Structure 1
Amino acid sequence: MKYFFSAGEASGDIHAAQVIKALLTLDPEADICFLGGDRMAEAAGHEPLIHFSRMAFMGFIDVAAHLPEVLGNLKTAKEAISSMRPDAVILVDYPGFNLKLAKYAKSLGIPVFYYIAPKLWAWKSYRIKQIRRYVDEVFSILPFEPAWFAERGVEVTYVGNPSVEEVEAAIRTLPSHKEFLNVHSLTDGRPILALVPGSRVGEIKANLPVMDAVARLHPDMQTVIAGAPSLPRDFYASFSNFPVIDGVTLGLMANSRAALVTSGTASLECALAGCPQVVCYRAVGWKWAHDIFLHILKIPYVSLPNLIGGKIDRQTRREVNNEAIKTGVRGCIVPEMLVHNCTPENVNRELSRIIPDGKPREAQLDGYRKLRRILHTDSSAAENVARLIVQKLRKV
């Protein structure tokens, strides 16, 4: 059978690659075309139609600035789907782009599967109509999502969380701490502070300067930036002169005393790696933008560790937001410094609480243990997705 995948950023590339591997086990003759990155290329055995480095634009301003490229990517993808006529289109997160592909594929009568459901419970819930119309089946990686979608008339299957198995498998293959230091020319005896500013240009521009300023307040630690493989090192030099390590973000977090992490999949991976963290999301730093941000959000938190491990209800949201406006989120697993609260002073206050041994650090590590219990499954998320897709197609 023929499959068309679309993943528009680094985390999607990782998760989609695992599904491709599982599909090729079930369907060894599978013909796979994809938008994605190096991990998917390795799994499929050939290069992507479009590399995600040409797709990873964030927010209205970033997308508007690159509109010709965005429209060109969309046209290329549609032409490939029309020419290939795949048996299935498999979309991975990245809803702004992928839901347009879903509509097009559906117009051609091609089954559409969505892996890693769009976070409609957080914002842009109006997209639920597009999910109903254009997506045949949604596979969720967050245990609270099926109930939310079911209330709105969409059946969603929880397949497990791929980050759990990917992190556990990767950690088993990591070198020792001493070997990690030697390979990356780091100093033994000095604790590492990891800066994880994201994989998109817009994220890094907004968050790395704040992270850099905080790191300079801790000269006793050796600071290392987790680089995105798709971006050149001299790009990071515009915002920080700390060393950059490419393609080993998980290993860096697992070997760090603490981390500053831009909200996203990396915050969950950091938790699973057992590294205490402060979540940062600078974006536009104006207070009015922050107020709009809180008004739009339908949830009390933005980071995955807090969303999975915390209660999501309106009362909790009100209580948390009242405190967050002043000091960042309390009463949750990881502190979140959002929008205009994401300043060097505020981020450093939270970081300084979790670097030394003590109650704040231990509370976060206890929260991480809770996360692992919640997310534990006995089967692979990628294998579950591949099996469900093949079963569905063979019934058609």
Structure 2
Amino acid sequence: MKYYIIAGEASGDLHGANLIKGIRANDPEAQVRAWGGDKMQENGADLVKHYKETAVMGYASVIKSLGKIRKNLKLCKQDIADYNPDVVIFIDYPGFNLRIAKYAKKNGYRTFYYIAPKIWAWKTYRIKAIKKYVDRLYSILPFEVDFYKSYNYPIEYVGNPLLDAIDAQLNRGELLDDFLKRHDLPHKPIIGLLPGSRRQEIKGLLPMMLRLKSHFPEYQFLISAAPGISEDYYAQFMDDDKNNNLIHNDTYQMVKHADACIVASGTAALETALIGTPQVAVYKVGGGILAHAVGRLVIKVKWATLVNLIMQKEIIKELLQKDFTFAKLKKELKAILPNGEKRANLLNQYQELYTKMGNTGASARAAESMVKRLKEDLK
């Protein structure tokens, strides 16, 4: 069968590559054409456009790129028509993908969506388009099943691909001494800092995080360096003290060995929880669009982190916007360090979270279901 897959970001490229592996395992003769990246191409996809050519971040960039977006939409529609696939599969990237889903459905193509748009946080109105133009939606967050059920739209929870990423990349057997030697670090316990992947996030979070150093002198503070952010950018927030170090391309191991982490609310908070390290989730940006977006998120849902949303209760402390103060941060960090009053309960809650998330193999299960449904439709 012929598959047309559309992913618009680096994470979508990774999940798309794993999905292609699963499709080929269930359909050895599968032909795949895709919008994605290197990983999808390495797994046999005939690549139409690389996500680096199509990615648009932020409202200002969208406005400036309207011409490019329209051109890509037109190209994608024409390419689908020329390729004539048995199914069009969408991976996240809702702004683009829901427009293509409308075109594909109206022109008689089967439509599957893997990694549901987060309409429970914002843009709930998109449920109308999903119900109208998406034949089957595959979710990676367990609470989404009930959310979509409330709109009379059944979806399939297949597990979360983060479990696969952690399973593949994390060396759980590595000793702390080996990690410290590998990074030329002193033999001191670790507090991990994950201040986000964007400059505005880092600027808003890292200075406050680093103020904690003098209050926890027995610890070394290690900072997870984001790809694409120069060391010079981090340096403006750091002093010459060697008690804070940038860790490049080794975040999972840093988190594993840390006694606790302070994490910018986002995917990293869920990754930290699945690795099993106690954390405080934080977020603060200035005024303008980003602050407004955070405000809308807090209003729409009861919690901002996926960890608490999945558990449907607060198991990790969220210090967002005005609650992100030094006094609160210091108090919450102390509570989750060894001998802290919240640590044992938090670790127990992590075990419950892991059970709720299911097993590894999310992409493989999604692919198996997709191929099975297509074969049934073609009988």
8 Å contact kept, 1:267–1:304: yes
Query: Are 1:211 and 2:220 counterparts?
Result: no
Contact kept? 1:91, 1:115, Cα under 8 Å: yes
**47-56 vs 249-258, greater mean Cα deviation:** 47-56
Shift of 1:382: 1.3
Superposition pairs of residues 94-105 of structure 1, within 5 angstroms: 94-105=93-104
TM-score by length of 1: 0.80
Q: Which residue of 2 aligns with 1:338?
A: 320
The alpha-carbon deviation at position 45 of structure 1 amounts to: 6.8
Q: Which residue of 1 aligns with 2:272?
A: 270
Query: Secondary structure at the residue paired with 1:217?
Result: helix
Q: Give percent identity, aligned residues only.
A: 36
Q: Contact (CA 8 Å) 1:35, 1:52: kept in 2 or not?
A: no
| Corresponding residue number in structure 1 for 2:156 | 157
Letter in 2 for 1:353: A
The aligned residue for residue 106 of structure 2 is: 107
Q: What is the DSSP-based 3-state SS (H/G/I as helix, E as strand, rest coil) of the residue aligned with 2:223? A: strand
The number of residues matched between the two structures is 369
| Residue identity opposite 1:205 in structure 2 | Q
**How far does residue 79 in structure 1 lie from its aligned partner after superposition?**
4.5
- Residue of structure 1 in register with 2:223 after alignment: 225
Task: Indicate if the aligned counterparts of 2:86 and 2:110 stay in contact, CA closer than 8 A.
Answer: yes
The equivalent of 1:309 in structure 2 is: 311
**Residue 280 of structure 2 contacts residue 332 of structure 2 at CA under 8 Å; is this kept in 1?**
yes
SS state at 1:218 partner: helix
What is the deviation of 1:334?
0.9
Is 2:7–2:51's contact at 8 Å kept on the other side of the alignment?
Answer: no
Letter paired with 1:2: K
CA distance in 2, matches of 1:38, 1:246: 21
Deviation per CA, 1:18-75, whole angstroms, max 9, x where unpaired? 21221122223333333334443443477672235851624x3453355455445545
Preserved CA contact (<8 Å) 1:193 1:215: no
d(CA) in 1 for partners of 2:236, 2:71: 30
Shift in CA distance, 84/374, structure 1 to aligned 2, threshold 3 Å: same
SS at match of 1:16: helix
Larger Rg: 2
In the aligned structure 2, how far is the partner of 1:256 from the partner of 1:48? 42
Give the one of 247, 250, 255 matched to 1:248: 250
State how 1:38-53 maps to structure 2 within 5 Å: 38-44=38-44, 49-52=49-52
> Which residues in structure 2 correspond to 1:157-236 (within 5 Å)?
157-172=156-171, 175-198=174-197, 201=198, 204-218=199-213, 220=217, 221-229=219-227, 231-233=228-230, 236=233
Taking structure 1 as reference, are residues 367 and 281 closer, same or farther at Cα in structure 2, changes over 3 Å only?
A: same
**1:263 and 1:338 mapped to 2: Cα distance?**
9
Unmatched segments (≥5 aa) in structure 2: 239-243
Moved more, 214-223 or 368-377: 214-223
Q: Partner amino acid for 1:55?
A: A
Moved more, 219-228 or 380-389: 219-228
Aligned-partner Cα distance in 2 for 1:169–1:65: 39
Structure 2 Cα separation of the partners of residues 352 and 189 of structure 1: 17
Unaligned 5+ segments in structure 1 are: 312-331
Which position in structure 1 is the counterpart of 2:14?
14
Cα distance in structure 2, aligned partners of 1:233 and 1:345: 30
Task: Name the counterpart of 1:282.
Answer: 284
